[in-house]
Amino acid sequence: MENQVETKKILLVNQLKELETISQYLEELAGGWDLSVPFTMKLTLALEEAFTNIVNYGFQDDESHEIALVFEKQNNRLFISLIDDGIPYDPTLTTDPDINLSAEERKIGGLGIFLIRKMMDKVSYQRIGKNNVLKMEKTITPN
């Protein structure tokens, strides 16, 4: 049982309607891997933000592209990779919004990647060949 690794993978196309697929998939995953409702919501949010960015900004042609989500559970640690063949883009390089500004001063937008960082323990990016690989990690907790 020590260091047992379980892997699940889902392939999606670059359309926002796939967010529903992701949400349903995560609910099934939560059942199988015994993930709590609040924990699953955090995963859903992080994945929505990352996936939406890829769909909205990743592709300059009108072709259909495949986006892979890979989930890996290693004891109480969860690793998620998003793999797409869009233009090179490292979201980890963006600066966080200043959350202490007033409503008047706050810019509309720019929260997506910030939320990913906050929802997950660790986020890293690699360009591997013609793919963007965004990796996220989170220790499985009850909330």
Partner 1 sequence: MKLNFSEVNNFKVIEIIGRIDSITAPDFENGVMKFMSDGVTKLIFDCSKLDYVSSSGLRVFLMAQKKLSTNKGMLKVCCLQPAIKEIFDISGFSQIFAIEDTIESASRN
Instruction: Name the site residues for partner 1 (rule: CB under 8 A).
Output: 16-17, 19-20, 38, 41, 44-45, 48-49, 52, 97, 99-104, 106, 108-109, 111-112, 114-115, 118
Which residue from 31, 30, 42 is spatially nearest to 137, judged by alpha carbons? 42
Least Å distance, CB 130 to partner 1, is 25
Please provide the distance, in angstroms rounded to a whole number, between the alpha carbons at the two ends of the chain.
24
Least Å distance, CB 20 to partner 1, is 7
Between 59 and 72, CB nearer to partner 1: 59
Between 1 and 99, CB nearer to partner 1: 99
Q: Identify the three-state secondary structure at position 105.
A: coil
Least Å distance, CB 2 to partner 1, is 33
Between 5 and 101, CB nearer to partner 1: 101
* DSSP classification of residue 26: H
Which residue from 98, 16, 106 is spatially nearest to 58, judged by alpha carbons? 16
